[in-house]
Amino acid sequence: MTKYIQIFIILLTLSACGQNVTEMKTPENVNEKFAEFTAKKKFVEENFYPGIADEKMRPVFTEKINQI
pLDDT at site 4: 92
Q: Can you tell me the distance from the alpha carbon of 35 to that of 44, in angstroms, rounded to the nearest whole number?
A: 18
**Domain membership flag for residue 42:** yes
- Count how many domains the chain has: 1
In a domain, 56, yes or no: yes
Asked if residue 29 belongs to a domain, the reply is: no
pLDDT in tens, the chain (68 residues): 788 999 999 988 888 776 777 888 888 999 999 999 898 888 887 888 788 788 888 888 888 888 88
CA nearest neighbour of 40 among 65, 9, 12, 14: 65
Q: Is residue 60 part of a domain?
A: yes
Residue 30 placed within a domain:
no
Spatial distance between the Cα atoms of 12 and 67, rounded to a whole number of angstroms? 40
Domain that holds residue 44: 38-68
Please give the model's pTM, rounded to 2 decimal places: 0.50
